Chain A
Amino acid sequence: MKIAITSSGMNLEDQVDLRLGRAVGFIIYDLEKDTYNYVDNNQNLNAMQGAGIQAAQNVVNQNVDAIITGNCGPKAFSVLTQAGVKIFIGAEGAVKEAIEKYKNNELQEAQTANVEGHWM
């Protein structure tokens, strides 16, 4: 299975980006093969609105089962849950540390959005 981690860079040593919609990019990590690739989020960094929705849709299209991030707003939460992607919030530090925590079941699965939307 694959998971996505919001990342401030292209490598596992880079920091988890605490934002989802306007994260710098995503590390897509394959838990079985222990490999990863990087997907940038340039398109949404400059989006005037709806960055969370679009980013969530892109993450879903990577066929991941879960996403690890710092914070998740209501619209991204809605897209991800409707697509059956589990959301783990409150991650921080290097991407590889977040992956380790995920493997050890140390991350909390979000039941609701933990931050407010930016549009109403």
Chain B
Amino acid sequence: MKIAIASGKGGTGKSTVATNFAYLLSKIYKDVCLLDCDVEEPNCHIFLKPYFNEIEKIYVETPVIDVEKCVKCGKCAEVCQFNALAFVKEKVLVFQELCHGCGSCVLTCPVNAIGEKGREVGVIEKGVGCGFDFIHGKLRIGEAMSPPLIKAVKKAGQEHNLQILDCPPGTSCPAIAAVYGADYVFMVTEPTPFGLYDLNLGVEVLRKIGLPFGIIINRSGENDKLIEDYAKTQKINILTKIADDRKIAECYSGGELVLRALPEYKEAFQPLLNIVREGI
């Protein structure tokens, strides 16, 4: 089973929920793996302090034109949806950094004049922390394309019984690449106008992809009505609330798991366990 933790807005508490939920699950179930899919700014490892025993470089295949074989038809540049190829004055120009590695040009070339060369997009690291498996990806500095690395992280963890995916914020390709294929999504939000606005964007995306989801209100307090009213009109379940408690913030800023330092908060995570129980 795969559970994705997403948000829309950044900084709502995805990693806090993901790390603590995985920790709690690992006390009950076997073979739990936390996948930090926020490869542009991974930070779950700060809380887990994992021991990494495997590192793997991830490549995206980009085109290399064999000028001898090329018949100068320009079909490769035509088929490229990412404008990574241009065909001017009987010559194919390749812009490696724009290539998404889809392979369309290779398939389209009538004379097999296009080969492929890997561009390193980043690394994935596998290890163990806080008693469960952990995998994360680190995007190469300067690399703009994160989805191939996110997919590699997910693939590396696909054999595990329970996969918890900490997803990047936003509603664009990285966020979609991360949540795609999840059995359930926890949308973590905060009771502020910003939290609500971005939550709604995220909800629209999830509905379009057709994934089941529920809301977690983090930093819950006197303004919860903002989210509750929205959830009611949209007919979305609020799964649980995590209080706006200074002690949690202190744990977080010290790089500690909340459930280790403040076990009384297990209560707030209980409703989330039901989702797993129902799913299994």
Contacts and interface: CB of A to CB of B under 8 A. Distances in A.
Interface of A: 47-51, 53-54, 56-57, 60-61, 75, 78-79, 82-84, 119-120
Given A60-B88, A119-B98, A119-B144, A79 B83 contact: no
A47 B142 CA distance: 21
B82 A57 contact: no
Contacts of A82: 88-89, 91, 93
Contacts of B77: 57
A17 to B, nearest CB: 19
Contact of B95 (A51, A53, A61, A84): A53
14 contacts: A48-B82, A49-B98, A50-B83, A53-B83, A53-B95, A54-B86, A56-B88, A60-B89, A61-B88, A79-B93, A82-B89, A119-B98, A120-B142, A120-B144
Given A49-B82, A78-B93, A79-B93, A57 B144 contact: no
Interface in B84-131: 84, 86-89, 91, 93, 95, 97-98
B67 to A, nearest CB: 13
Contacts of A84: 89
Contacts of A75: 95
B63 to A, nearest CB: 14
A51 B93 CA distance: 15
Contacts of B98: 49-50, 53, 119
Interface residues of B, number: 15
A50 B89 CA distance: 19
Contacts of B88: 56-57, 60-61, 79, 82-83
A22 B9 CA distance: 29
Interface in B45-64: none
Contacts of A119: 97-98, 144
Given A119-B98, A120-B142, A51 B83 contact: yes
Interface of A (DSSP majority class): helix
Given A57-B87, A120-B97, A50 B144 contact: no
Nearest to A21: B83
Given A82-B88, A82-B91, A119-B98, A50 B82 contact: yes
A41 B88 CA distance: 17
Q: Pick from B91, B97, B142 the residue with the most CB of A within 10 Å.
A: B97
A75 B142 CA distance: 17
B89 A83 contact: yes
A113 B22 CA distance: 50
Contacts of A48: 82
Contacts of A54: 83, 86
Contacts of B144: 119-120
B79 to A, nearest CB: 13
A61 B74 CA distance: 12
A54 B87 CA distance: 9
Contacts of B91: 82-83
Given A57-B87, A78-B93, 20 more contacts: A47-B83, A49-B82, A49-B83, A50-B95, A50-B98, A53-B84, A53-B93, A53-B98, A54-B83, A56-B86, A56-B88, A57-B88, A60-B88, A79-B86, A79-B88, A82-B93, A83-B88, A83-B91, A119-B97, A120-B97
9 cross-chain pairs, A with B, having the tightest CB-CB distances, nearest first: A50-B83, A83-B88, A60-B88, A83-B89, A57-B86, A54-B83, A53-B83, A53-B86, A79-B86
Q: Pick from B88, B93, B95, B98 the residue with the most CB of A within 10 Å.
A: B88
